[in-house]
Structure 1
């Protein structure tokens, strides 16, 4: 399933993957569902010959698909369909966007009703091909992990590429723990409540109790609103103050609201962002004053 066969790039990888997975269910009249990466008329025809019922979304640019009604001519709930002499049916349904479906066992004439929300918040019933409703109901199980992870995803923008990977693992760990919690038949809990319980357990009671209180006197750093204020004794008592790389923040010495000066440097002792500007070396000025 790696995309190469005999040291050559495989052109019909999606079809081959489906055929490999269905090798042991031929002639058993099973139903399978997949998305448009795998779906093609040739694949569904082959599966039908092996008595495997298959259904999936399909890219309208695939070969051998008929021309369907233009999306501009359709409104929400409208659909168009066509059948082949080999028992395949292709359906095009207009929701917010057009959806194309290919099936080797659904009757394209049969429809059902689905609920959709309008812009004003009102719910309306919209006609939908029964094949598409069946597809949506079954494909929901295939991406269950991604669905759970995406509900309360920890998404943080950053210039550091590894941050995205880190938060992905955090979310994946929470989802896996939630699944184990359900399998152990413990008291029922929603995913939101489960995440809240994890947060409560991870946050130290001492930090929660001290929220809003003043920092301890032993701390060198005391913050006044947004700008850090380091006592003079700390700035002058040590000679080990050295610049070191940090995240990009506002300079504590020369940045102000109307003109923000940002820097990648900070003091290794004071932990205060300080910039190196032409003619004015703020790092030295800050520790000399």
Structure 2
């Protein structure tokens, strides 16, 4: 399943993200602003169409919020065999009139269908919510838990399309959450630096998601990032071992024992044990009970 989400930001750069249910970002695109100093009409529709060009006819499911959603877009997706669902602005063109809020109570919903296979649904919770879909049956319902003012929990009816939308609309949020956990972004006068590092961190997050999906040994994002950093600097450390340099420069901290990464262990002859004269161990020489090595 593919998910689109757009969060409005007053200042800064914007990124269009296409992510799947695991949070893996399939496509990232920087929004560069107006073209030819003119405001682009139907920007949301154009962005979604551009990013879904290669999944036409494959019955993929795409979810997005009301910034992108419109009857014209979902009609186009229907013709190209792309299942789409999203919230929609009730003032959007070509939408039918549904029950007013005054006529509805919590858990009530109204719907209408078109001869092109689109369904528009209005569901009343604390506030009303409008949903547009080109593949859901508007008559199918499910139940969701809601709390009353006295704290008691009740079950209220809602369209199954809404339950499906809520279950799949947080995919970009997962990606954003992982991106922000160990954010190292810094202010810079050159926006290109920030964009460059954004894509670097996005690559690391995608690698971490792949690591989890392949059911490899469990690790945290922090340890995963640390291991990548250590692997990147390992070749330089290996090369420096052949030079005449005091071991103390590699042992800045006495709290941890020196070690060689598993990924580069036995990679070259510089890692092999060498027999020489007895000498003092750089790690143990500071202890009360000193140990000499061969």
**TM-score normalised to the size of structure 1?**
0.52
What is the aligned-residue RMSD (CA, Å)? 3.4
Of 156, 165, 169, 1:126 maps to: 156
CA separation of 1:44/1:98 partners in 2, compared to 1, >3 Å: closer, same or farther? Answer: same
Instruction: Give the deviation of 1:146 after TM superposition.
Output: 5.4
Output the CA distance in 1 between the equivalents of 2:164 and 2:209: 30
Output the CA distance in 1 between the equivalents of 2:144 and 2:168: 15
Q: What secondary structure, in the 3-state scheme, does the structure 2 residue paired with 1:132 have?
A: helix
**Higher CA-based Rg:** 1
* 1:80 alignment counterpart: 110
Q: Deviations over 1:7-39 (max 9, x none)?
A: 421011000000001000011111000000000
Q: What secondary structure, in the 3-state scheme, does the structure 2 residue paired with 1:5 have?
A: coil
Of 133, 136, 143, 1:103 maps to: 133
Output the CA distance in 2 between the equivalents of 1:180 and 1:115: 34
**1:178-193 alignment, distance < 5 Å:** none
User: Quick check: 1:4–1:10 contact (8 Å CA) kept in 2?
Assistant: yes
Instruction: Give the deviation of 1:120 after TM superposition.
Output: 1.5
Instruction: Give the deviation of 1:72 after TM superposition.
Output: 1.4
Output the CA distance in 2 between the equivalents of 1:3 and 1:81: 37
Q: Deviations over 1:109-132 (max 9, x none)?
A: 110111111122211111010101
CA separation of 1:82/1:2 partners in 2, compared to 1, >3 Å: closer, same or farther? Answer: farther
Q: What secondary structure, in the 3-state scheme, does the structure 2 residue paired with 1:18 have?
A: helix
* 1:23 alignment counterpart: 53
Out of 97-106 and 139-148, give the one that drifted further. 139-148
Q: What secondary structure, in the 3-state scheme, does the structure 2 residue paired with 1:81 have?
A: strand
**TM-score normalised to the size of structure 2?**
0.51
* 2:173 alignment counterpart: 143
Q: How many residue pairs get matched?
A: 173
Output the CA distance in 2 between the equivalents of 1:140 and 1:96: 21
Q: Which has the higher contact order (CA 8 A, sep 6+)?
A: 2
* 1:43 alignment counterpart: 73
Instruction: Give the deviation of 1:186 after TM superposition.
Output: 7.5
